Amino acid sequence: MKVLPFKIAKHATDTLIVQEDRGMSFYDKFHQHEEIQISFIVSGEGSMIVGDTIAEYTPGDILIFGCNVPHVLKSAPSLMESYMISLFFTRESFGTVFFDLPEFFDLSGFFKDLVYGIKVFSEKEKLKELFFEIVEKQEKLDRFIVFLKILKILKEAKTKTISSFVSKRAYTDNEGKRMGKVFQVVMNEFHRDFSLQEIADLTHMTPNAFCRYFKQRTNKTFFQFLIEIRVEHACRLLSRERETTISEISYRCGFKNVSNFNRKFKVIKGMTPSSYKQQQLESHFK
């Protein structure tokens, strides 16, 4: 299967696609598609890359990716089944002028932010009920009515953009395969050392050419990206393994010494690993 672009399976008469993904992992290839994607994470957790940003997703998250926004959801090793309900549509799915009607003027800001990916922070219980409802509906009109309800709530919900930079240039198939190889090996093996030559060889480029290529498409260097992957994984361990020492966590995430780990963690998260661990512990007991 091609990494990029990715085609959403649909019938010729489908305008709104409702898709359920179940299994021990989601589609963990870096990909993009022309459809806007609204997803509710019912169960499962892991890391995601959206544009230039690495973040985590957890059960209950509602994520939205715009047209051709490159992204990947990498499930964390777990016995928990990954289950996601997703809606796919384009701005032209219901007619070329449908979303230009006066009734949808308030959605203009919503569509604008989609190019960076969006995470929803409010109205999640209402949205959760509607996601389960739309899955149960069999008639297309009934599903469409629920879809409009979801859009109405999203218009009023508090959201935050996930990424700060997304290349305006859509990936070609070859470019997607290159970036997909890099992202996949790093997300799977972030704990080990990498040489620039090794990564450049994956893309069949020279190290200098690869560095320029990667920076143009992610707005950061390869090693910045690697450190962010490691820190994001460390956040998950700090939240869940309360008895594990910070020194051990730093080593498991690929850092050679705890002082370097503390320094990099603070730059990215704005606090030390110990402060983050305490914050997570306090929020758990609220």
For residue 170, the model assigns a pLDDT of 64
pTM here is 0.80
CA distance 183 to 72: 9
Least confident of 71-80, 89-98, 102-111, 196-205: 71-80
Which of the listed ranges 1-10, 13-22, 35-44, 237-246 does the model predict with the highest average pLDDT? 35-44
Do the domains at 17-161 and 190-284 have one common CATH topology?
Answer: no
- pLDDT cut 90: percent of the chain above it: 60
For residue 5, the model assigns a pLDDT of 47
Strand partners, 47: 56, 74
246 has pLDDT over 80 = yes
**What is the pLDDT confidence band of residue 106, given thresholds at 50, 70 and 90?**
confident
For residue 31, the model assigns a pLDDT of 83
**Averaged over 185-190, what is the pLDDT?**
92
For residue 186, the model assigns a pLDDT of 92
**Averaged over 196-207, what is the pLDDT?**
94
- pLDDT cut 70: percent of the chain above it: 92
Domain segments of the chain as ranges:
17-161, 190-284
Least confident of 26-35, 92-101, 126-135, 253-262: 26-35
For residue 177, the model assigns a pLDDT of 80
273 has pLDDT over 80 = yes
Name the DSSP letter for residue 19: E
CATH topology for the 190-284 domain = Arc Repressor Mutant, subunit A (1.10.10)
**Averaged over 114-138, what is the pLDDT?**
95
23-77 residue pLDDT tens:
887 777 788 888 999 999 999 998 998 887 888 999 999 999 998 888 889 888 7
CA distance 236 to 233: 5
Query: Mean pLDDT score of the chain, rounded to an integer?
Result: 88
**Averaged over 104-124, what is the pLDDT?**
89
CATH number assigned to the domain covering 17-161 = 2.60.120.280
Is residue 221 within 8 Å of 214, Cβ to Cβ?
yes
Question: How many other C-beta atoms are found inside a 10 Å radius of the C-beta of residue 97?
Answer: 9
Output 132 or 284, whichever has higher pLDDT. Answer: 132
153-172 residue pLDDT tens:
999 999 999 987 776 666 67
**What DSSP letter does each residue of 77-133 carry, written as one string?**
S-SSPEEEEEEEE-TTTT-TTGGGSGGGGGGHHHHHHGGG-EEE-SSHHHHHHHHHH
CA distance 180 to 74: 12
**What is the pLDDT confidence band of residue 4, given thresholds at 50, 70 and 90?**
very low
Max CA pair span of the chain: 58
